[in-house]
Amino acid sequence: MGTMVPDTRNFDAILGAIANEVTPLFGEGNVASYIPALARIAPDQFGIALRTADGREYAAGSARTPFSIQSISKVFTLSLAMQQVGESLWDRIGREPSGDPYNSLVQLEREQGVPRNPFINAGAIAVADRLVTRFSDPKREVLRFVSELCDQEVSYDEEVAASEARTGFRNIALANFIKSFGKLDNPVEQVLDLYFHQCALSLSCLQLARACTYLCQDGRNSLRGEQVLSDRQARRVNALMLTCGTYDAAGEFAFRIGMPSKSGVGGGIIAVLPDRLSLCVWSPGLGSSGNSIAGMRALELFVEKTRLSVF
């Protein structure tokens, strides 16, 4: 980390080829169905966008179609909390891979209400609790933060947020469970209101590739020239994404793709190559691990074609 590495690859051709090659995967897997507002999405969509550290942008497919970013939002709320709260953030959140499913309560019980890491649901709820404490209008602040990251106004999909609030029983269980250990400072309803909204953020692949630029440039957002996190903090977010970012397939991701990544059940996946580029793929059909099938394949093709990887 530190030195920006210019890259002369023909990314236009590479992204186009990838978009082409993943077409046969459309229709495989299942669109997330646990909330009605997500279950309606047409499955045969795919987008990919990339932004290099020196500011060039590339895209293919439906790279400008907004989708529900879901768990990808955990990267942004974590970053905002690291920026605002500092080291005490980690008093109630671990940094280890969980080995259990992303929405498991087992680990929480064993470890007395301290989530294993900020990228499982329980961890993101604990992060949200800190933001609720920190801000008088936390939803507005998260919206502002993400909008600034991609240098464009973004918005919550209120229908998705309402749908999560009505049917997200597992997350309600998680939040109450943490609360029962005395490890949530704010009322469950307020914390979940923020959490359900952050999951309901709508962004496109291109916006997400832009939003992640601070993760491949030592914490600095090059679109607005702002230092979002210190270089050390940015490195830490990347480390967490690599070890814990893709549900219970983090090992498989590191193994097959080798880039810090974070996926969401909306079908999006962001990935970062420190000092080089950030990218985002999207396709709604999910595999058994909860990750986009075409999206994972696209990232794998990207690594094969560019031979880029942190390893």
The binding site for a second copy (CB under 8 A) comprises 1-2, 94-100, 104-110, 116-117, 169-170, 172-177, 179-180, 188, 234-236, 238-240, 242-244, 248-252, 254-255, 258, 260, 274, 307-311
The residue annotated as part of the active site, out of 79, 191, 247, 303, is: 247
The residue written with tokens 């909330």 in the block is: 35
Note if 265 is an active site residue. yes
Give Dmax (Cα) for the chain: 54
The residues with which 86 forms a beta bridge, in sequence order, are: none
Residue 70 phi, psi dihedral angles, 5° rounding: 50, -120
Note if 102 is an active site residue. no
Least distance CB 51 / a second copy (angstroms): 18
If phi > 0 it is left, if psi is from -120 to 50 it is alpha, else beta; for residue 190 that is alpha
Least distance CB 201 / a second copy (angstroms): 23
Note if 305 is an active site residue. no
Least distance CB 42 / a second copy (angstroms): 26
Note if 214 is an active site residue. no
The residue annotated as part of the active site, out of 62, 68, 71, 73, is: 71
| Burial class of residue 87 in the structure, from the number of CB atoms within 10 Å of its CB (0-12 exposed, 13-18 middle, 19+ buried) | exposed
CA–CA distance, 256 with 272 (Å, rounded to integer): 15
Query: 13 or 106: whose CB is closer to a second copy?
Result: 106
Least distance CB 121 / a second copy (angstroms): 11
**Overall size of the chain counted in residues:** 311
Find the helix or strand (DSSP H, E) in which 81 lies.
helix 73-85
Note if 74 is an active site residue. yes
Active centre residues (catalytic): 71, 74, 195, 247, 265
